[in-house]
Structure 1
Amino acid sequence: MDLSAITRPVGRLVATAQNGLEVLRYGGLETGTVPSPFQIVESVPMYRLRRYFPPDTRPGAPPPGPPVLMVHPMMMSADMWDVTRENGAVGILHRAGIDPWVIDFGSPDKVEGGMQRNLADHVVALSEAIDTVKETTGRDVHLAGYSQGGMFCYQTAAYRRSKDVASIIAFGAPVDTLAALPLNLPAGVGAAAADFMADHVFSRIDIPGWLARTGFQMLDPIKSAQSRLEFLRQLHDREALLPREQQRRFLASEGWIAWSGPAISELLKQFIAHNRMMTGGFSIHGELVTLSDIKCPVLAVVGEVDDIGQPASVRGIKRAAPQADVYEYLIRAGHFGLVVGSKAASQTWPTVAKWVRSIEGDGDLPEGVVPMAMQPPEPTESGVALSSRVAHGATAAGEMAFSLARSAADAVVAANKSARALAVETARTLPRLARLGQINDHTRISLGRIMSEQARHAPGGDCLLFDGRVHTFEAVDRRINNVVRGLIEVGVRQGAHVGVLMDTRPSALVAIAALSRLGAVAVLMPPDVDLPTAARLGAVSEVIADPSHLEAARKLSMRVLVLGGGEARDLHVPDDADVIDMEKIDPDEVDLPGWYRPNPGLARDLAFIAFSTVGGQLVARQITNFRWALSAFGTASAANLGRGDTVYCLTPLHHQSGLLVSLGGAVVGGSRIALSRGLRPDRFVQELRQYGVTVVSYTWAMLREVIDDPSFVLVGSHPVRLFIGSGMPTGLWKRVTEVFAPAHVVEFFATTDGQAVLANVSGAKIGSKGRPLPGGGQVELAAYDPDDDLILEDERGFVRKADANEVGVLLAHPRGPIDPTASIKRGVFAPADTWVSTEYLFRRDQDGDYWLVDNRSLVIRTERGPVYAETVGDALGGVDAVDIALTYAVEAGGRRIAVTAVALRPGGSIAAGDLSEALSDLPVGAPPDIVHVVGEMTLSASYRPMVTPLREAGVPKASRNAWHLDVDTNRYKRLTAAVRAEMVGGQR
């Protein structure tokens, strides 16, 4: 009888019992391994800095190699770099001649104040550790980070603008977090969930170490179950288990530490919900940072079957850091297997050592390290490929079933992508439109009120960005309330007209919002106009000025309130001057009077007075709270603005577009407001990335100052998704969308009284003003006879509605107060109805989109028929060489001549054939008599082309860049002196 048949099972059972008892008693099997030696170079409450294998300081000893500082994720112990001495990261790098350092953030639940740490604290700590390593070694530092530790490396390098950073090695570190979320969650669902969890869950709780471990395991529950089952099956074979025992114990229990709620909340909000590693504009202790400031080489280690740091997400670094040389190393491993385990020991760490040597100039790039492509070739970048999931792991059948379920879900998601996007947009837009529809004359609504609501909803959220710094909603709201107290202290009451003479700065926004909250009227005074006239038209009683406009304000012979400009300043005013420094008023010492109620403004109340120039005359435009709300809610809805957006307010706040569209839309949308010190091409792209700008505001031809500038260069990706504003020339519109693709333009048209608001939301038809804004008033086109300047009626005496592509006068059904100067018409389409004539001419195409034709009073009536300036401009804007086209009337020879001035793009040229082709088939109206090229188009302060200088120059002179319309051939020919003489003399 073979006794081994009996003893072998018994021995196996005994070995299993002995090993199992050891696991239960000690948490694992005793391996006999000892950790690698290290010294603590620096120890502070936030971290300890370890230097492994301290160098031999004896004379003649070889110097240490290049330093590599390794960074662990917040939920995992720093011991992950030394799980096993022989096969751990620090041991392998040391044997390769590298000087390994490790930053240890410790366990925050065991450190005083540790559970209040936020994400920025870790970035600043890592930056300080880099300084220490640099000072100690005298060499630039290579940063190596795993998972979120890799994110820390990217963020810190950007925060330092790559100072003293030799290179970055990131292992499975997500950058484009919404490109491929774990479990293949749709981006919209993931972002919304992250935002909710940040605001309502992790703002109140922390994650203990055991929960961090459980959460990590639940991201891949099948693999976790496989590992446990395999361990139990081999529990009898100690020799088989020992090589992986340290790794198992690390993942099972020892490697997990607590995670502070503020740090999780910030991670979820900034880098998942708002994806700001891709867009830029994330905040590190109030300083705005963008990965585009990374200039050092980057090696991204990509796990082919990594379901946490998925390839699509990891490869986002290529787009996020356009100034860096980005490489990748693809390894067939899961998330933890990138840095710990047999493949990490045989592939990852030897490759990292060779990478460091190559960056130091000591060898070529390691095998398998290749430049990262901008668009990786894998067709399944939405997640890890199905084939990779199926092939990876011991239980192929189980993984296949799990992966097929995910793939099926992906198919459903893809098939319903447009429906989901529509649902998300509807969920965000409908409440705004519903609120707008409920506004009546007695509704309490104002800028100050909306800002209060946003501050209550998200007090710690980013509100205002300026000069590279970020200010929260709570801080801005507190500053507004303090300024209100200051205004009350100096005697400003509800209903007072207070001038605001300030540059576009945070203090200007605060002043405007404070006046709104007080119930006073903010008279927005442009610095470049006749200020005494503006003060008179606005009935100004006193003026708020910043220090730079103090002298101009003092000339108005009224009291001047100085606000902003920083704490350290000297106003240099005589003692008897009627000037009050608002910054010296202590708001805590101000007693609020009984009459004060914050945000008392009703929809019908006058809120602002803005100014425009008409025919060379300054005209005051009254803006009620309803008018402001209509534009603000309409803009937020049309542009789909939300908390993830950053609106770049290039338009001055004293301009109606800046107040109503940029500021208004951002405030209603809860978006971040980025203020600029003015339009400068050399700063434009840098601020886009630093602030993470997603929406850029504009007026007229403003953006040509950027894209036509010789120094303008747009390298790599950008965060902009929309340009919003009004008056953009069609040629410029086309170029902007080409340069900033895939961003598009949302063009608005709004009358000064706000009764008619149109928006081209899709941006598909360049030049179109779109359709009536949802939630706005009803508009109609009244049929129009341009020859007799009459609105046409039908056989019953009512106004006839214009047919498709027929010129008509835009009429608006009034909502809210009607401007007393408006052209009011009654009994228009039905008995006793009331409409307001905008005095603008439009045509409506077959699809229902509106196209601006001209102002009714500016139509040029020639012998050949009416010439419409906007229609001609739209047509010429389609010529590639044309920058701006402006059509105007010139009196010559006893008749009116239609002249179009054309400014060309830098280096552009135009021929008669181009003009003839572009103007041969206008949708309405006749082409101009003369077209000529001008060297430069004069623009107003709001970048609107000015016609007065051109008109005053009279009929253009004959030249090779001037053409006239030959009425016999309907083609353009060179304008000669003889032809010009005939036109001036009235013989043509």
Structure 2
Amino acid sequence: MLGFDAGSVTTSLRRVVATAQNGLEVLRLGGLETDAVPSSFTVVARDPMYRLRRYFADENPSGPPVVLVPPMMMAADVYDVTRDQGGVGLLHAAGMDPWVVDFGSPATEEGGWNRTLTDHIVAISEIVDLVARETGRDVHLAGYSQGGMFCYQAAAYRSSRNIASIVTFGSPVDTLAALPLGIPAGVATRGAEFLAEHVFTRLAVTDWMARTGFQLLDPAKTVKSRIDFLLQLHDRDALLPRESQRRFLAMDGWVAWSGPAVAELLTQFVVHNRMMTGGFSIRGKVVSLTELTVPILAFVGEVDDIGQPLAVRGIRRAAPRAQVFEADLRAGHFGLVVGSTAATQTWPITSKWLDWREGNGPRPLEVRAMSYDDHPPSESGVSVSARLVHTAATIAEVGVGIGRGAVSAAAGAVRGSREISTEAVRTLPKLAKLGQLQPHSPVSMGRLLAEQNRRAPSAECFVFDDRVYSYAAVNERIDNVVRGLIAHGIRPAMHIGVLMETRPSALAAVAALSRIGAVAVLVQPSPDVGVALRLGRAEMVIVDPENLDSAVDLGFEVLVLGGGESRALSIPTSDTVVDLEQVDPSSIDLPGWYVPNPGRARELAFVLFSGSGDTLAAKYVTNYRWALSAFGTAGSAGLSRSDTVYCLAPLHHSAGLLVAVGGALAGGSRIALSRGLAPERFADEVQRYGVTVVSYTWAMMRDLLDHPDLPEPRLHPIRLFIGSGMPVNLWRRTVDRLAPARVLEFYASTEGDVVLANVAGVKIGSKGRPLPGSGRVALAAYDPVTARFVTDDHGFVRDCADDEPGVLLGRPGLDDVSGSYMRGVFEAGDVWTPTELMFRRDEGGDFWLLGNKRSVVLTAHGPVYPQPVVDAVSGLDQVDLAVTYGVGDPGEQWAVCAVTLRPGASLGARAVGEALAAVPAEQRPDLVHVVADIPVSAAFRPVDEALRAAGLPTPGPRAWYADGLGEYRRLTKAVAADRFSTSAGASSVGRSGS
């Protein structure tokens, strides 16, 4: 017979009663009464955005002030969950002066639901001023999670003024490097963009939504903590030490987010990831973390799946001018600031850091310099072992059999293929749009700006002089300029000159003419202004104040636009000089004929110019041709709203108007306008604006690469250079000096549909292949000696074989303004538009420029194509610039290659011969020489007119000639007199042993 254990029954009954009593208290009060007393504080400042608490103020603290910033969704009490283990109590005990920012809840503050992210950042900046004034000391700024992001952003906004150091706890910077739950970056950006534009403009995040979202990011731990609580509900003594922390996470610690603040957070720091790239906007001012110059300590949770280590360590790359340190803890996200790990490690390390920065102690042993290594997209920074141990332990305690680590690993395995498909999804629609255009399709620059404004009026259109302008503001400015232009007689199809520096008003003028349907004749400031305006059939001219003097005597009515609020015109207004800025747009009634953006694909949109002096020529660009470049650039460069495109080229150059501005508008990217090329400005603006794509022309990059302020490789946001004409050696230097950026080289005929792009960037120097969506391209056999196309037995032009020189032709498509057609070229009835350029096509289908038909040097040993010679010698590290030209009469010319050398470099005959060995023997130059300078045009294209006029090179140690045996030798006076004198004749230099 079994015995009856009365003691066991009594214990069980007591346990049941205790469980019931404690459970009833939890149901009635939300938790157990702990009798915990919060740390004492005084509210020293009140504002609609915040309450500023100073803890232990009655004790007259004299230690260094520490301002603690909570995340936007969490209560300020996160730093005082338990007095004996909370951040403020422990910092105070260590001799610090803790202050805490209390943003309150948008639900209870007046105007709270309209708060923006910018409001929070500006509030923190104001608090730094207040605390610095009150204490007379620089402030240590510290923040948890998003609060740390606020600290970085506010410090950058105020250029680190009055800030002694920054301390962050699990604060992500590279938000796309390691997302919670292994979410692919492409999915995150598209989802964040949708939420920002369509959800949070109408909806806020309530406190229960914030709490639930936080818990779902680590569901296993959430379930474990709840089961632990229920299993110990009978043991009040065991629960009380952690009850304040449990109640904070389960109920009390969460506050709502305003919709505008969440939308701004998603747009700037998820979609655009501008903590890393720079160029985020605070009240219209462009800000970058590169402006941080104070010491930074970032706490990294080794098993933090919210502020993952790689995302946190992004600060090292984003703030290259700051000393950045880290402290690694075996903790999750919340455990970094609350709980036993925080009490025994986080806050003591923080105190020792503050002492060190104040000169009162050594650097903490736990603090080390942070490094930032490149990583594959599948990594998060949470080590596999740490993740497995942490996850397995958590799961084992609650009996769950499936590890989330396996799910994360699976997500990482497919991430690469998802990113490839994301790129295709982003690119193909832009290229497909080209194929949908018909001659009567409505398309223009003005229309594209209006479409982007309708899609996202608050999105950023461009940045200039540290100010950001939204699409809404830009379109309003354009519409105002439209009214002023119409009031002064401008109508559709009129040709209007634009003589302006690169500035917002120039962009507004060109877009306004497009919106009217007029033709913008873009001319550069030069002695050829009058000739260019007449070639472009301009009827009046729009200028900025800087170019007013050069325009008034040209015989045109002059309209002055832009120049800033404090400008003063050098010439008073009159019947022929009108100040558009003095026109009140609201006083102008639009005429009945005005229809915004009437431009059709086949209609003329712009007139650009090439050459100078006697070679000045007008180039006619239709709306379709502009759209071809715009969407082609956006598609091949993968431009998106995450990009900021740096427009270095002036708007009157095709690289500025068609590639940089057009591509950015088509891709929805932000445009960064620059006042011109200057190495110090480039280095500064690239970092501050968060430039991801840089447009270039020809040798533009050569003066930039050696500048000491240029950012180090991998510590800059640039991913791509796009443009045309970059010399081979400059290409290599660019990708080496500014890794991991690459070069996307284009060739686009100003007229017609021919667009080539070297998208892969593997064959340096190649112009690439025809862009999908552009017109068909062909190479027609051409004899430069006779200046005629080579025909077959039936009289048709012969299509070039691989590596055979020929003239590039393109299908005319929708572009019908040039009129330079060829019919019956390869077959009866076909129609092609010829370019002036010769190319060869390699066996892989890539096109290589040989030079203009007129620039081919006609020697006694055959034609010498200038570009292959330039490419060959430009491959030498010693060479800076190179040009190839002819001296003498056609058919008896000498082919001469002139080079300049990089500082400190020297060049010899052997290096010249080795470099030119890649060129067929009969196409090598007769002479190579080093010159002091090769002039470049306004577009940075090397020009050879002065060198050609100077004649043959002077004999000496830096001039070499081809000896006819495949070698180059020093040019002496005797050899020059014997072989290269006028009387000797070109025929004396053959390739058969002469």
Q: CA deviation at 1:437?
A: 1.1
Q: Is the 8 A contact 1:892 1:955 kept in 2?
A: no
SS of 1:707's equivalent in the other structure is coil
**Of 951, 971, 974, the match for 2:970:** 974
Note the 1:811-850 alignment, pairs <5 A: 811-820=809-818, 822=820, 824-850=821-847
The equivalent of 1:735 in structure 2 is 733
Deviates more, 1:632-641 or 1:337-346: 632-641
Letter in 2 for 1:650: L
The 1:561–1:749 alpha-carbon spacing in structure 2 relative to 1, beyond 3 Å, is same
Q: CA deviation at 1:614?
A: 5.7
Unaligned runs of at least 5 residues, structure 1: 58-62
Root mean square deviation, CA, Å: 1.8
The equivalent of 1:413 in structure 2 is 414
The 1:378–1:835 alpha-carbon spacing in structure 2 relative to 1, beyond 3 Å, is closer
Q: CA deviation at 1:787?
A: 4.3
**Of 11, 15, 18, the match for 1:12:** 15
Deviates more, 1:660-669 or 1:399-408: 399-408
Distance 1:539 1:799 in 2: 36
The equivalent of 2:992 in structure 1 is none
Letter in 1 for 2:497: G
Letter in 1 for 2:460: D
Distance 1:399 1:704 in 2: 61
**Of 164, 172, 183, the match for 2:170:** 172
Q: Is the 8 A contact 1:142 1:169 kept in 2?
A: yes
Q: Is the 8 A contact 1:854 1:869 kept in 2?
A: yes
Q: Is the 8 A contact 1:390 1:400 kept in 2?
A: no
State yes or no: 1:30 paired with 2:50: no
The equivalent of 1:750 in structure 2 is 748
Distance 1:961 1:46 in 2: 71
Distance 1:47 1:909 in 2: 65
Letter in 2 for 1:934: V
Q: Is the 8 A contact 1:767 1:874 kept in 2?
A: yes
Q: CA deviation at 1:640?
A: 1.2
The equivalent of 2:285 in structure 1 is 287
Q: CA deviation at 1:411?
A: 4.8
The 1:395–1:692 alpha-carbon spacing in structure 2 relative to 1, beyond 3 Å, is closer
Note the 1:730-809 alignment, pairs <5 A: 730-809=728-807
The 1:920–1:652 alpha-carbon spacing in structure 2 relative to 1, beyond 3 Å, is same
TM-score (norm 2): 0.96
Deviates more, 1:173-182 or 1:612-621: 612-621
Q: CA deviation at 1:399?
A: 7.0
The 1:87–1:879 alpha-carbon spacing in structure 2 relative to 1, beyond 3 Å, is same
The equivalent of 1:915 in structure 2 is 912
Q: Is the 8 A contact 2:69 2:148 kept in 1?
A: yes
The 1:839–1:539 alpha-carbon spacing in structure 2 relative to 1, beyond 3 Å, is closer
Note the 1:942-961 alignment, pairs <5 A: 942-961=939-958
Deviates more, 1:429-438 or 1:446-455: 429-438
Distance 1:487 1:379 in 2: 51
Q: CA deviation at 1:361?
A: 1.1
Q: Is the 8 A contact 2:620 2:818 kept in 1?
A: no
Q: CA deviation at 1:516?
A: 0.3
Note the 1:531-570 alignment, pairs <5 A: 531-570=529-568
The 1:123–1:803 alpha-carbon spacing in structure 2 relative to 1, beyond 3 Å, is same
The equivalent of 1:902 in structure 2 is 899
The 1:244–1:709 alpha-carbon spacing in structure 2 relative to 1, beyond 3 Å, is closer
Q: CA deviation at 1:840?
A: 1.5
Note the 1:320-469 alignment, pairs <5 A: 320-375=318-373, 381-392=379-390, 394-397=393-396, 401-414=402-415, 417=416, 419-469=417-467
Distance 2:24 2:452 in 1: 58
State yes or no: 1:650 paired with 2:648: yes
Q: Is the 8 A contact 2:751 2:818 kept in 1?
A: no
The 1:261–1:395 alpha-carbon spacing in structure 2 relative to 1, beyond 3 Å, is same
The 1:793–1:422 alpha-carbon spacing in structure 2 relative to 1, beyond 3 Å, is farther
Letter in 2 for 1:891: G
Q: Is the 8 A contact 2:745 2:759 kept in 1?
A: yes
Q: Is the 8 A contact 2:683 2:709 kept in 1?
A: no
SS of 2:403's equivalent in the other structure is helix
State yes or no: 1:256 paired with 2:240: no
Give CA-to-partner distance per residue, 1:218-251, whole Å, 9 cap, x none. Answer: 1111111110110010000000000000000000
The equivalent of 1:50 in structure 2 is 53
Q: Is the 8 A contact 1:893 1:985 kept in 2?
A: no
Note the 1:150-299 alignment, pairs <5 A: 150-299=148-297
The 1:899–1:379 alpha-carbon spacing in structure 2 relative to 1, beyond 3 Å, is closer
> What is the count of residue pairs matched by the alignment?
978
The equivalent of 2:851 in structure 1 is 854
Letter in 2 for 1:953: A
SS of 1:110's equivalent in the other structure is coil
Q: Is the 8 A contact 2:714 2:738 kept in 1?
A: no
The 1:251–1:290 alpha-carbon spacing in structure 2 relative to 1, beyond 3 Å, is same
Deviates more, 1:604-613 or 1:137-146: 604-613
SS of 2:651's equivalent in the other structure is coil
Distance 1:799 1:568 in 2: 62
**Of 479, 492, 500, the match for 1:494:** 492
**Of 851, 873, 889, the match for 1:876:** 873
Q: CA deviation at 1:893?
A: 12
Give CA-to-partner distance per residue, 1:39-80, whole Å, 9 cap, x none. Answer: 1111111111111011545xxxxx611111100000000011
The 1:711–1:191 alpha-carbon spacing in structure 2 relative to 1, beyond 3 Å, is closer
SS of 1:901's equivalent in the other structure is strand
The 1:12–1:227 alpha-carbon spacing in structure 2 relative to 1, beyond 3 Å, is same
**Of 119, 139, 142, the match for 1:141:** 139
Give CA-to-partner distance per residue, 1:788-822, whole Å, 9 cap, x none. Answer: 44322334433222111121221112112334452
Q: CA deviation at 1:108?
A: 1.2
The equivalent of 1:935 in structure 2 is 932
Letter in 2 for 1:438: Q
Distance 2:593 2:31 in 1: 73
Distance 2:226 2:480 in 1: 61
Distance 2:222 2:858 in 1: 81
The 1:820–1:85 alpha-carbon spacing in structure 2 relative to 1, beyond 3 Å, is closer
Deviates more, 1:429-438 or 1:20-29: 429-438
The equivalent of 1:60 in structure 2 is none
SS of 1:895's equivalent in the other structure is coil
Distance 1:952 1:621 in 2: 27
Distance 2:921 2:439 in 1: 40
Q: Is the 8 A contact 1:963 1:973 kept in 2?
A: yes
Note the 1:639-678 alignment, pairs <5 A: 639-678=637-676
Q: Is the 8 A contact 2:63 2:96 kept in 1?
A: yes
Q: Is the 8 A contact 1:694 1:720 kept in 2?
A: yes
Give CA-to-partner distance per residue, 1:138-174, whole Å, 9 cap, x none. Answer: 1111111000000001111111111111111110000
Letter in 2 for 1:980: A
Give CA-to-partner distance per residue, 1:481-521, whole Å, 9 cap, x none. Answer: 11111111222111221111111000000000000000111
SS of 2:15's equivalent in the other structure is helix
Q: CA deviation at 1:23?
A: 0.8
The 1:753–1:571 alpha-carbon spacing in structure 2 relative to 1, beyond 3 Å, is same
Distance 2:981 2:176 in 1: 65
**Of 103, 106, 117, the match for 1:105:** 103
Q: Is the 8 A contact 2:858 2:891 kept in 1?
A: no
Unaligned runs of at least 5 residues, structure 2: 989-994
Give CA-to-partner distance per residue, 1:522-552, whole Å, 9 cap, x none. Answer: 1112112422212211222211111111121
Q: Is the 8 A contact 2:720 2:741 kept in 1?
A: yes
Q: CA deviation at 1:617?
A: 2.9
The 1:734–1:10 alpha-carbon spacing in structure 2 relative to 1, beyond 3 Å, is same
SS of 2:166's equivalent in the other structure is strand
